[in-house]
Chains A and B, each alone.
Chain A
Amino acid sequence: MLFTSYTFIAFLIILFLVYYLLPHKWQWVITLCAGLFFYAYAFKDPGKQFGFFFIIITIITTYLSARLIDRNLKIQQEYVKTNKETLDRDVKKAYKEKMRKKRLLILTGCLVLNFGILAVLKYTNFAISNVNGVIKLFGSEAAVGSVDFVLPLGISFYTFQSMGYLIDVYRGKYESVRNPFKFALFVSFFPQLIQGPISRYDDMADSLFVPHSFDFTRVSRGIERILWGYFKKVVIADRMLVGVKEIIGAPDTYFGFYVFLGAIFYALELYADFTGGIDITIGIAEVLGIKVRENFERPYFSKSIKEYWRRWHISLGAWFTEYLFYPVSVSKPSLKLSKWSRAHLGEKVGKRLPVYIATISVWLITGIWPGAAWNFAVWGLGNCFFIMLSEELEPLYDKFHKRFNVLGTTPWKIFQILRTFAIMCSLRMLDCYRNVPVTFKMFGTMFTRFNAPEVFREGLWNIGLSIPDYIVLLCGTAVLFTVSMIGRHGDVRKRVFAKNPVVTVSVCSILLILILVFGAYGIGYDASQFIYNQF
């Protein structure tokens, strides 16, 4: 059920009505049922039903593991408390260590099982294609056949969210959930199931299970956010997609300036698509009274790649930092390596080596997270390269800033923003062409084949977009930019609503009209899936 389908809109309307008309104490049960129905609907086609059970496996194994870990921790605390007077320090330490190892075993088992499922379903064919590539290198015609797996919808998102919860319970950050159905709701909360954000249990729990009465202000703000998301998706992203597909689909025809244009179009399409989807998610949650964390903070205004990644897909970045980067980089082997490298390679290199090893690992995984392909791996390592480069160049930047006194000035800020945008657009070309050599070749044509005049003269009209399309896209982008500029000083909707409820109703009406009139529907358009749904 696509967010952009009429079935989904009908599903939402029915859900909102049932949610507020039935006794409020059942709201969390209604949301759970809605989530399971939404998810099961994705596997309605014959032969695909099996895919539904993977989320059930994740729910059951994570729930049980968290309960076991919690139980173990409680037994330990109780034992230490009861025997406080009699236990000496070393015995207590040994006992705690023994119990910790048991908890670690449960945690590891569950992590291996769930990430194992994810890896097998997502990366088996990638591994097979690489094996076949190697076999071919040796001149053999033999090939391993690919496997036809049903990749469960949103498997990365719900696996990451569940495993984050389990690690938090292991770390003693909060207690495990007693009620298995409440935990099932946390994992299967449908608006965020297919493209995030990846929520933390302690962020959501307060609002997820409590009754919510109908609050006109909150509900209308939620609807406003949903409509804003649809505006971004169907008016901007889906229209832009036509041009992007045309340019990327025919690299022999569209080279030089077309590639530059394609990269800009893709940047806007991706932004409108992904943030639009998240707006719909957060808007639905808001109507239901449930708090979901923000996932974007005007990423295209970032002044460095590091900053960009703090503002784009925030929840994924936070997940990787919290559950992968830190555990790897402060692990005992890493600290040992740090000590060794500082002693043998000098203070400067020694300090950086373990951090850089952890950074490269994290970026490699971040790269292949969206897709099992070499282009994504190179994309991840490309990001990593620029982050490490900027880290290394920092002393040089400092000297430059001091010498020319430009830091903080508007022209310099604009330069930094444009530089970051250009680097990100270049890296994303790997995502567009999905082929490493082709991407590098097409990137090169921007500098070797100058055809800008020709593109402006006639090319612009040959990529599936008409003059009205360009006008809609220009106006839409201007609206996005303006809203982002206003958003720098606080939540735009709060500021709009604070003035007058009539304003919100008007904004909603205008957005609805714009979506209906300018939405990319009909012949030539495909009611496309959100880009991140496939992850």
Chain B
Amino acid sequence: MDELLEILQNLHPDVDFEECDTLIDDGILDSFDIVSLIAEISDTFDVVIGAENIIPENFNSAQALYDLIERLEEE
């Protein structure tokens, strides 16, 4: 989780990613951010987040994103 938070923090240093759960709903993460994020996650965690996983529920909070990574790692 710390690694993920670090990636997110590098993307938007001004956002409190531990608390925020409306990253997509409030437009904090846009499509450019999401693509950069996926590229970094694929490097760090060795999982592939496919386009079918790009839905608000998976990207609205750091925790939701971490859960997605864990799910994909298990598969």
Contact = CB atoms under 8 A, between A and B. Distances in A.
A358 B35 contact: yes
A285 to B, nearest CB: 24
B36 interface: yes
Given A326-B51, A339-B43, A306 B35 contact: no
Q: Is the interface of A mostly helix, strand, loop or mixed?
A: helix
A329 B50 CA distance: 10
Contacts of A391: 32
Given A172-B52, A326-B54, A330-B54, A335 B39 contact: yes
Contact of B50 (A173, A325, A330, A359): A330
Contacts of A327: 51
A330 B49 contact: yes
A20 B30 CA distance: 44
B52 A171 contact: yes
B1 interface: no
Nearest to A362: B31
Which among A323, A326, A355, A358 has the greatest number of chain B C-beta atoms within 10 A? A326
B35 A321 contact: no
Contacts of B42: 335
Interface in B5-62: 27, 30-32, 34-36, 38-39, 42-43, 48-52, 54
A351 B39 contact: yes
B26 to A, nearest CB: 13
A351 B38 CA distance: 11
B30 A330 contact: no
B31 A173 contact: no
Q: Which of B34, B36, B39, B52 has the most CB of A within 10 A?
A: B39
A196 interface: no
A351 B51 contact: no
Interface in A102-132: none
A262 interface: no
A354 interface: yes
Contacts, number: 43
Interface residues of B, number: 17
Nearest to B42: A335
Contact of B39 (A173, A326, A339): A339
Contacts of A499: none
Contacts of A321: 31
Nearest to A310: B27
A310 B30 CA distance: 11
Contacts of B32: 355, 359, 391
Contacts of B27: 310
Contacts of A329: 35
A332 interface: yes
Contacts of A306: 30
A1 B49 CA distance: 45
A330 B35 contact: yes
Given A306-B30, A335-B42, A339-B43, A326 B35 contact: yes
Contacts of B31: 321, 325-326
Contacts of B34: 326
Contact of B52 (A173, A325, A335, A358): A173
Contacts of A326: 31, 34-35, 51, 54
A332 B48 CA distance: 8
Contacts of B43: 339
A173 B38 CA distance: 20
Nearest to A172: B52
Nearest to B14: A398
Interface in A352-398: 354-355, 358-359, 391
Interface string A328-340: 0110100100110
Contacts of B51: 171, 322-323, 326-327, 330
B52 A354 contact: no
Contacts of B39: 330, 335, 338-339, 351, 354
A340 to B, nearest CB: 11
Contacts of A171: 51-52
Given A326-B54, A330-B54, A339-B43, A354 B48 contact: no
Interface of A: 171-173, 306, 310, 321-323, 325-327, 329-330, 332, 335, 338-339, 351, 354-355, 358-359, 391
29 contacts: A171-B51, A171-B52, A172-B52, A173-B52, A306-B30, A310-B27, A322-B51, A322-B54, A323-B51, A325-B31, A326-B31, A326-B35, A326-B51, A326-B54, A327-B51, A329-B35, A330-B39, A330-B54, A332-B48, A335-B38, A335-B39, A335-B48, A338-B39, A339-B39, A339-B43, A351-B36, A355-B35, A355-B36, A391-B32
The list of the 8 closest CB pairs from A to B, nearest first, reads A171-B52, A326-B51, A338-B39, A327-B51, A329-B35, A355-B35, A330-B38, A326-B54
Given A325-B31, A327-B51, A332-B48, 13 more contacts: A171-B51, A173-B52, A306-B30, A322-B54, A326-B31, A326-B51, A330-B35, A330-B49, A330-B50, A338-B39, A339-B43, A355-B32, A355-B36
